[in-house]
């Protein structure tokens, strides 16, 4: 038996944040019925390359364990069909522009079901920010993430994936599961609302708290950490590596391996705070030693000593690493290899029952 077996989700979502959430719930056993626009479907069906055969891998990445039904919500018949679907659902998930579902009479209040869990995801909330477009790149910009990402203040950089969407999808899962638990105890559903902006502000954790608690406005530091050193990318003879030295003991071990034990007693570097203050000098001294050997040598030498270190892998090498550690990073459905759900449950493991649906299904 799966964790969410018997839970039915009417999924009116598209693109990334909400489809990621509903896929995660589908992996946990929920029955997910994805509602798509007739003839077009989810926008991400056309977001390629790359493609798997004739399907966009973007769409395939977040839509397994779902069936698909085409409903034209602009018609009376389509809205009635949607209501029939919702009538047998435990959960509704939607991420249309705020007000869209109300226009169709399919919003939480209009449905009037006290036992329904209804999750709405927007870019900037349903109030004063309702008219703002909820695109991940836009939120990364106005939400402050790009201001702390990149080599310097004049070169803001987005993350290499739509991270805010993914984080919002995960927060949506938490909210939906909490609401289902409450319904199990009381019989009452509720409205679960999330917006990309406040999810991002929450997810920036120490950077956000530095502002709210100390008034510190963080700036981009490239690959460095504002509070830890050495904690960045270093050159080697062949490829970059990362050192993530989190305490003084690890630093002393690093200095010993690099044959510069005197750095561990140098007044500039004795404590972490000292090292952060003199991070430029530290980088030059460590780089001079690390350039002498390949990245793999340092990885194999430092890791057994408890010094966090590793090469900067591409995605292919990252999957290979996970495979070598028996982490099983992929899942197979038919002839399709997808990224595995990372949640491992001992009694009710995730399942991979359905490939992402084709539009005609």
Residues 312, 233 contacting (CB under 8 angstroms): yes
Q: Residues with Cβ < 8 Å from 112, sequence gap 6 or more?
A: none
pLDDT tens string 298-341: 999 999 999 999 999 999 999 999 999 999 999 999 999 999 99
Which tokens is 195 given? 């917006």
pLDDT of 152 > 80? The answer is: yes
Average pLDDT for 52-73? 96
Ordered alpha helix ranges (H), the chain: 17-27, 57-60, 76-87, 100-103, 108-111, 136-142, 163-186, 196-203, 205-214, 248-257, 272-277, 279-290, 295-302, 315-324
Which tokens is 133 given? 């477009």
CB count, 10 Å around CB of 207? 17
Average pLDDT for 83-100? 96
**CA–CA separation, 58 and 48 (whole Å):** 7
- Lowest average pLDDT, out of 133-137, 188-192, 197-201, 352-356, goes to 133-137
Chain Cα centroid distance, residue 128? 26
Mean pLDDT, the chain, whole residue set: 95
**CA–CA separation, 230 and 250 (whole Å):** 10
pLDDT band per the 50, 70, 90 thresholds, residue 274: very high
Residues 32, 22 contacting (CB under 8 angstroms): yes
Which tokens is 179 given? 């609401």
- The residue written with tokens 């090498």 in the block is 317
Q: Is 171 helix (H, G, I), strand (E, B) or coil?
A: helix
pLDDT of 97 > 90? The answer is: yes
Can you give the pTM of this predicted structure? 0.91
Chain Cα centroid distance, residue 145? 14
Residues 345, 51 contacting (CB under 8 angstroms): no
pLDDT of 241 > 70? The answer is: yes
| pLDDT at residue 316, as a whole number | 95
pLDDT tens string 186-226: 999 999 999 999 999 999 999 999 999 999 999 988 889 98
pLDDT of 71 > 90? The answer is: yes
**CA–CA separation, 58 and 16 (whole Å):** 9
With vertex at residue 334, the alpha carbon angle to CA 329 and CA 336, rounded to the nearest 5 degrees, is 50
**CA–CA separation, 331 and 351 (whole Å):** 9
**CA–CA separation, 112 and 129 (whole Å):** 25
Average pLDDT for 65-91? 97
pLDDT of 361 > 60? The answer is: no
pLDDT band per the 50, 70, 90 thresholds, residue 360: confident
Residues 7, 89 contacting (CB under 8 angstroms): no
pLDDT of 26 > 60? The answer is: yes
Of 99, 118, 95, 89, which is closest to residue 43 (Cα–Cα)?
Answer: 95
**CA–CA separation, 322 and 319 (whole Å):** 5
**CA–CA separation, 269 and 43 (whole Å):** 53
Active centre residues (catalytic): 165
pLDDT of 115 > 60? The answer is: yes
The full set of domains in the chain, from first to last, is 8-211+331-339 (3.40.50.10540), 231-312 (3.30.1540.10)
**Cis before 45 (ω within 30):** no
pLDDT band per the 50, 70, 90 thresholds, residue 121: very high
What torsion, rounded to 10 degrees, do the Cα atoms 339, 343, 346, 350 define?
-50
Residue 334 phi/psi, 5-degree rounding, is 65, -125
| pLDDT at residue 331, as a whole number | 96
């Amino acid at each position: 038996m799966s964790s969410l077996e018997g839970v039915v989700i009417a999924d009116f979502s598209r693109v990334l944040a909400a489809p990621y959430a509903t896929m995660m719930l589908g992996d946990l056993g929920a029955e997910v019925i994805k509602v798509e626009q007739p003839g077009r479907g989810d926008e991400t069906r056309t977001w390629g390359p790359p493609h798997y055969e004739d399907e966009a891998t973007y769409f395939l990445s977040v839509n397994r364990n779902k069936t698909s039904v085409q409903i034209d919500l602009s018609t009376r018949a389509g809205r009635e069909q949607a209501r029939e679907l919702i009538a047998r659902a435990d959960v509704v998930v939607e991420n249309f522009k705020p007000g869209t579902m109300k226009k169709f009479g399919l919003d939480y209040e209009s449905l009037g079901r006290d036992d329904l869990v209804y999750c709405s995801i927007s870019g900037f909330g349903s109030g004063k920010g309702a008219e703002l477009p909820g695109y991940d790149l836009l939120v990364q910009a106005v939400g402050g993430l790009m201001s702390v990402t990149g080599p310097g203040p004049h070169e803001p950089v987005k993350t290499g994936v739509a991270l805010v969407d993914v984080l919002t999808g995960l927060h949506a899962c938490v909210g939906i599961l909490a609401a289902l638990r409450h319904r199990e105890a009381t019989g009452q559903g509720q409205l679960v609302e999330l917006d990309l902006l406040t999810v991002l502000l929450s997810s920036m954790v120490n950077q956000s708290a530095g502002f709210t608690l100390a008034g510190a406005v963080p700036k981009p530091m490239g690959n460095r950490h504002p509070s830890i050193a050495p904690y960045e990318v270093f050159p080697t003879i062949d490829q970059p590596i990362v050192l993530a030295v989190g305490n003084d003991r690890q630093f002393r071990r690093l200095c010993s391996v690099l044959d510069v034990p005197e750095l561990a007693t140098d007044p500039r570097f004795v404590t972490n705070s000292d090292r952060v203050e003199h991070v430029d000098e530290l980088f030059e001294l460590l780089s001079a030693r690390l350039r002498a050997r390949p990245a793999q040598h340092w990885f194999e030498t430092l890791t057994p000593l408890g010094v966090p270190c590793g090469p900067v892998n591409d995605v292919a090498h990252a999957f290979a690493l996970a495979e070598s550690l028996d982490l099983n990073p992929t899942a197979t459905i038919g002839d399709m290899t997808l990224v595995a759900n990372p949640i491992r449950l001992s009694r009710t493991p995730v399942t991979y029952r359905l490939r992402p649906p084709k539009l005609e299904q």
